[in-house]
Chain A
Amino acid sequence: MPDTATLAAPETRSPAPPPAAGGNQRLRMPRFALALPAWGWLLVFFVVPIGTIVWFSFGYKPGLFGTHANDVLSFDRYREAFSPTFFTTFTNTLWVGVAGTAICLLIGMPAAYWMAVKAPPRLRGLLIALVMVPYWTNFLVRTIGWQVILAPEGWLSNLLQSLHLTGGPLDLLYTRTAVLIGVVYNYLPLMVLPLFVAFDRVGEPLREASKDLGAGRLRTFTRVTLPLARPGIIAGTVLVFIPLMGDYVTATVLGGARGNMVGQLVASQFQTAQNWALGSAMAVVLILVIAATVGVMALVAWLVSLPIRARHRLVIEEAS
C-alpha cells in the first residue's frame, strides 16, 4: 500500500482510473446497495404492516369475537369513521395539533434565540443539555408531574388561591387547557432544538454586517435572521406537529374525556372494541389528515412568501 512518502512524488504514481463524479468506478455494486438493508427492514416491518392495515380498512367485523374479515370489501368503515360523532374528534385533534404547535413556536422561538445568540457562549452547551434533560425522564412520569401540579388540592392551587389570582381551587385538570399545557410541555424541546441550530447557523458575522449596514435590531431579525433560520423553523414545526397529532396518552392523562384524540379512537377500536376494520379506517384517515395538513401548511407558506419575495426581488442588471 502506498504510504505518505509517495505523495511527495506524484509523477511516479501509476495512472489510476479517474474517479467518476459521485462514485468509485471500481465498485461493481449498484448505487443503492448500502441502503438496501435499511430499505428491506423498513419494507418488511413498516410498509407491509401498514399495507395490511389499509387492506383491513375495507373489511368488516364478522362477529362478537372476530376481529376482521375481508371477504366483502366496501367503503363502509370510512363512512363510519366520518360519522358526526367521530368526525368531531378529528376536528378536535386537528385543533389541538395546530394550537399546540403554534404555542410551541411562540414559546420556543425567543428561548432558542436567547440560547443561540444572546446567552454567553460558554453556557450554550449547558443550556442545550438543560433543555434535553427533562426529555430523558419518562414521558408519562413527566405528564404525571403535571397532574400533581394542576391538582385542585395541590400546592399550586393553594398558592394561587392565597395570592387571590383564582377564585376557587385550580380547575384546569380534565379540561382542554390542561391538554394544551401537557402537549406543549412534552414537545417543546423538539421545537427548541432545531430552532437553536437554525439561529446558531445564521452566525454572528451576518448579523453584525446587517447592523453595520444600518439595520436596527428588529429589522436585522426579520430580514436576516428569520429568513435564514427558516429551514430550522420548518423542521421544528413538522417535528412537533406530526407526533402531536398521533399522541393521545398525554391528552388522556391530563384531559380525561376532553382529551379524546383520534389516537385514542384508533387504540380503543383495536384494544377494546376488537373492530380492526373500523380502527384501520380511522388510522388511514389520520395519516391522510396529517399529510394533508402538512401539505396545506407548506402551500400556505409558499403562497405567503410569493408577494414578499416579489417585493424584495433584486434586479441585477447586466453591466454594459
Chain B
Amino acid sequence: MTTSTTPRQGTGSVPDSAGPPPPVRRRRSWGDRLIALWGVLVLLFLFAPILVIIVYSFNDGRLLIAWNEFGFEPYRALLERPAIRSAVTVSLQVAVLSGLLATFLGTMAGVAMARRPGRWTWWFMGLLLLVSVTPEIVDAVSLLPWMVFLGQDAGLAVFDNGIVRLVVGHSLFSTAVVSYIVRARLIGIDESLEEASADLYAPPVRTFRKVTVPLAMPAVLAGFLLSFTLSLDNTIVSAFVQVSGSTPWPVYVLSALRSGLRPEIAAMSTVMLVLTLLALALVGVVLKRSGDSATDIARTMGGG
C-alpha cells in the first residue's frame, strides 16, 4: 500500500478521485461487490451440472435422466459391473503413459527452443502451430486409416494394440502444449546458471540434468498435469482409434449415450471427482509445505 503523505498530484491534471474519503470507499466497495458477485455466480455456473450429476448418482432407476427414487444401487452396480471399472482403468493407464511421453518429448523440445534457438525454431514452431490449429476431428479421421495401415499393411502389429493407439493419439497435442509451456518458462530465465555450470566443467548432459531441468521443473510438472487432464478427457480421437477391449472412459460414456445412460455413469463420475478433490487437497498441502504458491503453478501453466 502507498505510504505517501503528500496529496495526490497528477502531472498537471485534476485528480479524478478527489473528494472526501467516505464516498470513495462506498463506491469502491459497490463495484468490488458486484465483481465478487459475478465471480461467485460464474463458479456456481461451473459447478451446476456437477452438482446435478452428484445428485443423480443416487438415482435408483434404469435411466440416469429419469429420477426414480433415492438409493445406493448405482454404487452397488459399480462394484458388480466390471465394464465401467475397466474403462476407467484404461483411461488412467493411457493418461499416465501419454502424459509421460508428451512431457518427455515436449520438455526436450522446449529446452532446445529456449536455449538453442536458430532458424530451425521457426519451422518447429510452425509445426506446433499446425498441431494447435487442427481440430480434433481432423486428427481423429486421419489417424485411424494411418494406424490401420501401419498395423495391417505395414505389418507393425504393435499398432493394433488399443493402448498403443490411444497413447499415440493423445500424445500429439500434449507434446505441443508441453513444448510451449517449457519454452515460455525457460525463456524468462537467463542462461547464467547454465553457463556457470559449464564453466565448472560439467558435461552438457549433467548441466541439462542438474541445472536446466530443475529450473524448468514447474513448467514440466504443469505440462504433465495438463497432458494428463487432456488425455483423460480426450473423446473424439479416442472414439475413432480405439480397439474394443481397451475402451477408454469417455468413449464408454459416448457409447452409453445411445443406449440410454445408466445412473452408474454418474456414480463413477462422482467417485472420480472425489478422488480428484483428494488429490488436489494433497497437492495443496504439499505445495504449502514447499512454499510454492498455487499462483505460480497456474502462472506457469498459463505460459510463464
Chain A interface residues (CB < 8 Å from chain B) = 1-2, 16, 19, 22-24, 26-27, 31-35, 37-39, 41-43, 45-50, 52-53, 107-108, 110-111, 113-115, 118-119, 124-131, 133-149, 151, 185, 188-189, 192-194, 196-198, 200-201, 208, 211-217, 219, 232, 235, 238, 242-243, 245-249, 253, 263, 266-267, 270, 276, 279-280, 283, 286-287, 290-291, 294
Contacts and interface: CB of A to CB of B under 8 A. Distances in A.
B172 A42 contact: yes
Contact of A42 (B118, B176, B202): B176
Given A125-B293, A145-B52, A148-B56, A242 B133 contact: yes
A20 to B, nearest CB: 10
27 contacts: A19-B199, A26-B204, A34-B109, A42-B175, A50-B130, A114-B35, A119-B39, A133-B50, A136-B272, A136-B273, A138-B233, A138-B250, A141-B53, A142-B50, A185-B49, A188-B42, A193-B301, A214-B11, A217-B31, A235-B302, A245-B135, A248-B137, A266-B138, A270-B144, A270-B240, A286-B137, A291-B133
Leading 10 A-B pairs by shortest Cβ distance: A246-B135, A145-B49, A214-B10, A125-B294, A197-B302, A49-B142, A114-B39, A34-B112, A38-B109, A35-B112
Given A38-B109, A129-B280, A137-B269, A46 B299 contact: no
Contacts of A50: 130, 134, 138-139, 142
A185 B109 contact: no
A192 B43 CA distance: 11
A276 B138 CA distance: 12
B276 interface: yes
Interface residues on B, range: 35 or more
Given A32-B124, A115-B39, A138-B253, A217 B28 contact: yes
Nearest to A109: B38
A23 B115 contact: yes
Contacts of A200: 295, 298-299
Nearest to B145: A52
A49 B145 contact: yes
A251 to B, nearest CB: 12
Contacts, number: 321
Contacts of A286: 135, 137-138
Interface string B2-42: 10100011110111110000000000100110011011001
Contact of A276 (B56, B118, B145, B276): B145
B250 A283 contact: no
B97 interface: no
A19 B195 contact: yes
A126 B104 CA distance: 29
Secondary structure of the A side of the interface? helix
A133 B16 contact: no
A133 B141 contact: no
Interface in B130-188: 130-146, 168, 171-172, 175-176, 179
Contacts of B284: 125, 129
Contact of A138 (B134, B143, B269): B269
A39 B138 contact: no
Contacts of A148: 49, 52-53, 56, 64-65
Given A22-B117, A133-B276, A266 B137 contact: yes
A189 B195 contact: no
Interface string B281-297: 00010010000011100
Choose among B2, B36, B49, B261 the residue with the greatest number of A CB atoms under 10 Å from its CB. B49
B116 interface: yes
B43 A131 contact: yes
Choose among A138, A232, A291 the residue with the greatest number of B CB atoms under 10 Å from its CB. A138
B83 interface: no
A140 B250 contact: yes
B50 A235 contact: no
Nearest to A146: B49
Contact of A24 (B16, B47, B204): B204
Contacts of A108: 42
A216 B265 CA distance: 52
Contacts of A41: 105, 171-172, 175
